[in-house]
Amino acid sequence: MQIPQIQIRTQDAALSIDADMGKQRLEQPAATVDMEQIRPEQHFQTTKGRLEINQDRLWDALALGNNLQTMSKIYSMAADIALQGIARIVEKGDQMASIHLGGNPIAEMARDWKRTFPEYDFRGEASYDNIDIEYIPGELTIDTTPGRVDLNVQVNKPIHEYERGKLDIYMSQYPKVEIIPPQLDQLI
């Protein structure tokens, strides 16, 4: 005898998921910078330099110097000049005394006569270095105030926008159980 069988058929559930990615926008604005520059300052103070030129020795060498010094030189040479004058007078007297020996001593003395007095040489020493030059430089004072840069930086917050994606979860197939009973053709 055959045993009747019950047929059971099942259908699994099927879930469907429809998902789209979310969108995100991230932006970082640049920082706000306020900058102030304070310039450095310099102050200069100067004094004038001095150039001193002393020409006293030059004028003295040209016999055009200070009268007091010139007269002092002449005074200090006076004794020697007087002795030289006496010697010259003696020499001319000797020439005149020898007039009987021949010659013309008066003409010779006239020829040697000079209007200048070389014994009165009261000039100073002549030199290429008779001018004294001295330069005294001026003073320079520099006051400096250093400059600087003042910064005021403000960091801006980032801008963040997020748009959620789509997520749909649905049943694309429902579960089911089908039970099929056997066909019974027999009578009991």
Cβ(1)–Cβ(184) below 8 Å: no
For 73-113, what is each residue's pLDDT tens digit? 778 888 888 888 888 889 888 888 887 777 787 887 787 77
Residue 59 has pLDDT above 80, yes or no: yes
Question: What CA–CA distances, in Å, run from 146 to 88, 142, 163?
Answer: 84, 12, 54
- Per-residue pLDDT of 114-126, as tens digits, reads 655 666 676 777 7
| Region 23-39 average pLDDT | 92
* Calpha distance 108→51 (Å, rounded): 55
The mean pLDDT value for 52-73 works out to 82
First to last CA, the chain: 14
* Coil, strand or helix at 64: coil
Helix H, strand E, coil C: the string for 108-150 is HHHHHCCCCCCCCCCCCCCCCCCCEEEEECCCEEEEEECCEEE
Torsion of CA 80, 115, 62, 123, to 10 degrees: 0
pLDDT beyond 70 at 16: yes
Block residue for tokens 């910078």? 33
Name the band, by pLDDT with cuts 50, 70 and 90, for residue 145. very high
Residues 66 and 59: their CA atoms lie apart, in Å, by 8
- Percent of all residues in the chain with a pLDDT value above 70, rounded to a whole number: 92
Q: Is the pTM of this model over 0.75?
A: no
Q: Answer with the residue of higher pLDDT: 182 or 40.
A: 40
- Which has the closest alpha carbon to 18: 184, 172, 149? 172
CA distance 131 to 54: 6
Using CB atoms within 10 A of its CB, is residue 60 exposed (0-12), middle (13-18) or buried (19+)?
buried
